[in-house]
Each structure stands twice: as C-alpha cells, then as structure tokens.
C-alpha cells in the first residue's frame, strides 16, 4: 500500500508544479522538511522551498516537471523512502534531470508529506540499478 503513496506523491508533485499551484504544492511538503545535496547549500528547509517555488511559479519559469521510475528503499507503516528520477524543464529550454531520494511520512493530520529529500550524486541511481539483492 505504501508504494501507492509514493506513486501518488510523485503524481501530485508533478501535477501541482505543472499547474503552478503553490498552495497545493506546498501542502505536499512537511514544515519539518530538509533537502540535502543542492549545490551551494548545506540544507534547504520549508521556507526556502516555498520561496523558490513561489518565484518559479509566479515568473512562469517551469515548463514541465516529471518523475520517471520508482524504487522503494524502505517501507514502514508511516514512512516510505524511495528513489526516482526527477526532470525539470524550464521555459528557457534548460532541462535538469537528477536522481532524488525522497522520504514521505504520514503526518498527524493524516496527509502524506515529504520530510526529507536528497539529490543523489552522479552515478548513484545507476549504481542502484546494477546492485544485486
């Protein structure tokens, strides 16, 4: 069931970003969120994420956000840790494609939200594809 939550989360992230719906997009993000692996930053929190999204949405900088592939790393009743490939296309023609590891948690209000995101190092997703279990 939890992998469905991960798929639903990715669909909702893409849909709200592509629609430029700041309120709905930020409702998918925990107030306690930490984002790691962004060049030039130790950690990004909720306020930084909200400010960046607001700017990108208002300025019309995003053409499309999409996710490809889903590999669940860990499942517990209230948490799902998974990896996916995120593609962000800008209206200026730029395309940023990167592996991300996302931890979602069912919060007190019953909604699933991102509590941690880590941008993966080059090759880390490829390494996972070839790892034997």
Alpha-carbon distances of 53 from 8, 30, 34, 49, 129, rounded to whole Å: 20, 15, 15, 6, 31
What mean pLDDT is predicted for residues 96-116?
97
When comparing pLDDT for 37 and 2, which is higher?
A: 37
Torsional sign, CA 31, 34, 35, 41:
positive
pLDDT digits (tens, 9 = 90+) for 22-45: 999 999 999 999 999 988 889 999
Mean of pLDDT over the chain: 92
Q: Quick check: 84 and 12 in contact, CB under 8 A?
A: no
As for how many domains the chain has, the answer is: 1
Say what percent of the chain tops pLDDT 90: 83
CATH number at residue 84: 3.10.450.50
What are the tokens at 78?
């209230």
The domain containing residue 19 runs over which residues? 2-130
Q: What is the pLDDT of residue 127?
A: 54
Q: Quick check: 87 and 69 in contact, CB under 8 A?
A: no
């Amino acid at each position: 069931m939890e992998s469905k939550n991960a798929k639903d989360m990715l669909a909702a992230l893409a849909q709200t970003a592509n629609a430029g719906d700041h309120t709905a997009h930020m409702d998918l993000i925990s107030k306690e969120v930490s984002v790691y692996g962004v060049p030039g930053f130790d950690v990004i929190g909720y306020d930084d994420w909200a400010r960046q999204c607001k700017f990108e949405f208002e300025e019309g900088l995003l053409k499309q956000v999409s996710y490809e592939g889903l590999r669940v790393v860990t499942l517990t009743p209230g948490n799902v840790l998974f990896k996916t490939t995120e593609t962000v296309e800008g209206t200026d023609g730029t395309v940023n494609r990167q592996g991300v590891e996302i931890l979602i948690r069912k919060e007190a209000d019953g909604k699933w939200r991102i509590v941690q995101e880590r941008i993966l190092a080059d090759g880390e997703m490829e390494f996972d594809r070839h790892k034997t279990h």
